[in-house]
Amino acid sequence: MNALAPGSVFGISAPAGPVKPEKLERAVAHLHDLGYRTKLSPNVLSQDGFLSAHDDIRSRELLALFADPEVHAVWSARGGVGTSRLLAGLDLGVIASSRKPLIGFSDLTALQWALWAKLRAVSFTGPLAVEFDGSLSPATESCAMRVLAGETFNLLDGFSVNPLEFLRGGATEIIAPALPGNLTMITTLLGTPWLPDLRGAMLFIEDVAEPPYRVDRLLFHLRNAGGLQNLAALVVGDFGWDPSDDKSRAQLRQSVLDATLGTNYPIILNFPYGHGRDRVTLPVGGVLRMRLDATTPELSIAVSPFIAPNFA
């Protein structure tokens, strides 16, 4: 997998929900201002109900970008819903063998986790293409571009967010593969062939527009399926609640403690990962190093996916 730099071509597709033309136009203009080039799928601005297009069209256009020799990376225009509909018929081998980064998050969790589960192909949970319209904080934009350039740095640098909360301690340093994803999408993969082995992984979770009781249900479904039993760490990100909603955050804290009862790995809350303006870009399946210092915590990519082979 090649690192990206100004001049690289981002292929932009819409494998999930429909895209607002004005947002994409502003985002593409900004990416061009940063020195990157773009190539859009023919139906990236189409709409078919709550999807961007029919399943066959979305699959075909996504694979076409991975097969296109002019494209260096493939960026999901937006999330929404619909990616999991593609998994059964999608040729994951075309994506993995291209060695091109796939970037996106939220609904894209289904495809990103499937790539790691089936082919050990690393992708990146990061901003959606349309969010480069000005929706991102400077720290989020910088983190994404530095990660995709293959830089080694503290991924938490520059984020002026709430301090991390160490709900439960443990090892002072963790080196483990990262599996970041949207909690709702993770639970939809349970019982399917596209769920990676979570044992020994650093699990990052986030969600949006889900009330605390639903988050509790999702966490316990994951626990009951064995998904929370043998992690290296659990890192809890943003769930989209109002900053003043202390009640929901307190319930989340309790639900996390209850769902992980009987385990002893570290648990971190308030991590900048989710649907807010502040979020880190992480390699799905890539190896991370986390130093758990309450005053100056560090998170970095321990093994660059741009150097190491992305197949086991």
State what percent of residues in the chain have pLDDT above 70.
96
Distance in angstroms (rounded) separating the CA atoms of residues 106 and 240: 12
Average pLDDT in the 218-233 region? Answer: 98
Instruction: Give 74-97 as a DSSP string.
Output: EEES--SS-GGGGGGG--HHHHHH
Q: Is residue 24's pLDDT more than 50?
A: yes
DSSP, res 48 = B
* 58, amino acid identity: R
Distance in angstroms (rounded) separating the CA atoms of residues 286 and 105: 15
Confidence of residue 172 (pLDDT cuts 50, 70, 90): confident
Q: Is residue 45's pLDDT more than 80?
A: yes
Domains and CATH numbers, the chain: 9-148 (3.40.50.10740), 165-303 (3.50.30.60)
Range scoring the smallest mean pLDDT among 1-15, 231-245, 291-305: 291-305
* 267, amino acid identity: I
* Mean confidence (pLDDT) of the chain: 94
Task: Pick the more confident residue, 310 or 134.
Answer: 134
Alpha carbon of 146 to those of 9, 77, 280: distances in Å? 16, 20, 11
Nearest alpha carbon to residue 119 among 96, 143, 99, 150: 96
Confidence of residue 308 (pLDDT cuts 50, 70, 90): very low
Range scoring the smallest mean pLDDT among 22-26, 44-48, 168-172, 173-177: 168-172
Average pLDDT in the 26-34 region? Answer: 98
Confidence of residue 110 (pLDDT cuts 50, 70, 90): very high
Helix (H) or strand (E) holding 255: helix 246-259
Which pLDDT score is estimated for 293?
75
Nearest alpha carbon to residue 194 among 121, 120, 122, 110: 110
Residues 139/160, Cβ–Cβ less than 8 Å: yes
Q: Is residue 153's pLDDT more than 80?
A: yes
Average pLDDT in the 202-222 region? Answer: 97
Nearest alpha carbon to residue 44 among 10, 77, 22, 5: 77
Find residue 298's DSSP bridge partners. 291
Which pLDDT score is estimated for 310?
41
Which pLDDT score is estimated for 105?
96
Contacts of 225 (CB under 8 A, 6+ apart): 190, 191
Q: What pTM, to 2 d.p., does this model score?
A: 0.95
Q: Is residue 36's pLDDT more than 50?
A: yes
Nearest alpha carbon to residue 234 among 178, 303, 158: 178
Confidence of residue 289 (pLDDT cuts 50, 70, 90): very high
Which pLDDT score is estimated for 249?
94
Distance in angstroms (rounded) separating the CA atoms of residues 181 and 106: 7
Work out the end-to-end distance of the chain between its first and last CA atoms, rounded to an integer number of angstroms: 14
State what percent of residues in the chain have pLDDT above 90.
89
Nearest alpha carbon to residue 14 among 56, 66, 53: 53
